[in-house]
Amino acid sequence: MDKVDVIVIGAGASGLMCAATAGYRGKKVMVLDHANKAGKKILMSGGGRCNFTNMDASPKHFLSDNPYFCISALRRFSPQDFVDLVDRHGLDYVEKTPGQLFCEHSAKDLLDILLTELEWSGAELKLNTKIHHIDFQDGQTVLKTNQGDVACESLVIATGGLSIPTMGATGFGYDIAKQVGHDILPTRASLVPITIQPDRKAQLAELSGIACEIAATAGGVTFQEPMLFTHRGVSGPSILQITNFWQPGEMLAINIAPTLSLDDLLDVRQSTPKKSYEGVLSHLLPKRLVELIKIEFPWLSERSAQTSNEQIDSLFRYLSHFDIKPNGTEGYRTAEVTLGGVNTNEVSSKTFESQKQKGLYFIGEVLDVTGWLGGYNFQWAWASGYCAGQYV
């Protein structure tokens, strides 16, 4: 039976980071993954260019039942620390929107850096490895796999959540946590497109493929970013962001003209009486959306001087309350992250060691820590992986 100091289950962002960190400390490390390739989610994220961090990352950008849990790791391994790492390898990257860093060419460049670090640290990577059973014994843990038995002193669970099962995501990490008595907080797909009720979907069917800037509100939080109409519902940055806060069964408040106030609309009639409200909206919204609004308000093409206060008020309410009753989401199939997971109240925020089982560690998405869209979840992977790697 092989024996190593540390086994990391999961060759994703947090697992590779943790393994290299531990390897550089002189630990004998083995990374196991059931997939045939490491870092599959890294390769497909960000449209294949991987939004690998956000320079603005702070605890306020993360959701958890214990909001204080992430503070320590984010302080000990900052976005700049990760940038320093990729700079040493000469990665070309771009800042697409303030704070969001993407690989300039391909996510493969980033994965190559992580695998190089893994190699330099002396850690071993074993793919196509299925784990049949884990036996926690005094002083060591024994894993029975399709490639033989292997024992370790420290076992790190970096298996991620349930998002994108076609990339190999499973609930294996949660099963291990339950095996030793951990509480798993309810999980659901997040940072995910929303599907809408059939009648509303039929009404908006003609808008599929167009996008506009909106303000989406749920759970007392508002995101003003683009929304994309799809043939199933709505997507785009604002919608993905709000799914972290929207609760199933709730309405989703949407303002499709967030820069337009009631006073602005009233001023059109006063300052440009010959101008139509159709013309005003055409500067703000896609043509097909304006055509849809005209069905509701046929007077839009008339001169603004001919409109009443009631008509203008009605138009404003329509624009600012373009609310949607979601049918649900597209689920784990397209979700970027999984909300919920291993209860962080049962894990050390310093070492990431389980409080239920000595020598067992949880890092990354398997924990109940979920970041906003925009590179925050990758930063959590790097930070949690690095910090656990200091102690395994």
Beta strands in the chain (DSSP E): 2-9, 29-32, 51-54, 62-63, 93-97, 100-103, 124-126, 131-137, 140-145, 148-157, 184-190, 194-196, 211-218, 221-229, 233-235, 253-255, 326-329, 337-342, 360-362, 370-371
Helix then strand then coil, in percent of the chain rounded to 5, is 40, 30, 35
Residue 129 exposed, middle or buried by CB count within 10 Å (0-12, 13-18, 19+): buried
The alpha carbons of the chain give a radius of gyration, in whole angstroms, of: 25
Which amino acid is it at 163?
Answer: S
Contact (CB, 8 A) for 157 and 173:
yes
Return the structure tokens found at 88. Answer: 């040493």
Provide the CATH number for the domain formed by 2-187+340-390 in this structure: 3.50.50.60
Contact (CB, 8 A) for 126 and 31:
yes
Tokens 């007392």 found at: 220
Give the start-to-end residue ranges of the domains of the chain.
2-187+340-390, 193-330
Contact (CB, 8 A) for 180 and 206:
no
Beta bridge partners of residue 94, listed in sequence order: 102
Architecture of the domain made up of 193-330: Beta Barrel (2.40)
Residue 256 exposed, middle or buried by CB count within 10 Å (0-12, 13-18, 19+): buried
pLDDT in tens, the chain (392 residues): 899 999 999 999 999 999 999 999 999 999 999 999 999 999 999 999 999 999 999 999 999 999 999 999 999 999 999 999 999 999 999 999 999 999 999 999 999 999 999 999 999 999 999 999 999 998 899 999 999 999 999 999 999 999 998 888 899 999 999 999 999 999 999 999 999 999 999 989 899 999 999 999 999 999 999 999 999 999 999 999 999 999 999 999 999 999 999 999 999 999 999 999 999 999 999 999 999 999 999 999 999 999 999 999 999 999 999 999 999 999 999 999 999 999 999 999 999 999 999 999 999 999 999 999 999 999 999 999 999 999 99
- Smallest CA-to-CA distance from 388 within 156, 119, 142 is with 156
- Smallest CA-to-CA distance from 250 within 219, 295, 215 is with 219
pTM for the whole structure:
0.94
DSSP state of 337: E
